[in-house]
Amino acid sequence: MLYLYKNMKQENNKNHNSGNYNILRGAYFNNFSEVDGALETEPRCIENTDHLGRTALHIAAQRGFVDMVMHLSEQDGVDFSATDLLGRTALDVSWESAKSEIPHYLSDRMYPSLFTEFTP
């Protein structure tokens, strides 16, 4: 079982970058200057994951930081379909937050065509 867990962790953390955790720490503490500094230094750090496979978007959504979720969602390269080690997207973990507007916002960002009027 441990072997399976380690392999799953390695596969799921393919974007894990030990060089720049600033974006993850910034998302955890709702620190916009740290997130923006990390993105200026390394734009691809938006893909970085922690030891649980969570991206900065996962972390901000789970902690209920509405403005941070919106900010991260607007960055180039953000992957709304990225999953953590348990296979959960940022939308999935956002339901754990007490902020009901986060899941609705992420749903709109992930599936914009579902929320627009159909015109034949």
CATH of the domain at 31: 1.25.40.20
Q: Which residues contact 91 (CB under 8 A, 6 or more apart)?
A: 61, 80, 103, 106, 107, 110
Position 20 scores a pLDDT of 73
Tell whether 120 is covered by a domain. Answer: no
For helices 56-63 and 66-73, angle between their N-to-C axes, nearest 10 degrees: 160
9 pLDDT exceeds 50?
A: no
Mean pLDDT, to the nearest integer, of 67-71? 97
Tell whether 104 is covered by a domain. Answer: yes
Tell whether 110 is covered by a domain. Answer: yes
Tell whether 3 is covered by a domain. Answer: no
Tell whether 2 is covered by a domain. Answer: no
Mean pLDDT, to the nearest integer, of 42-71? 96
In whole angstroms, how large is the CA radius of gyration of the chain? 15
Range of the domain at 96: 8-115
Distance in angstroms (rounded) separating the CA atoms of residues 51 and 88 = 14
Query: How many structural domains is the chain composed of?
Result: 1
Nearest by Cα to 64 from 27, 23, 108, 26: 27
pLDDT band at 114 (very low <50, low <70, confident <90, very high): low
Mean pLDDT, to the nearest integer, of 33-61? 96
**Which residue carries 């296979």 as its tokens?**
87
Query: For the whole prediction, is pTM greater than 0.85?
Result: no
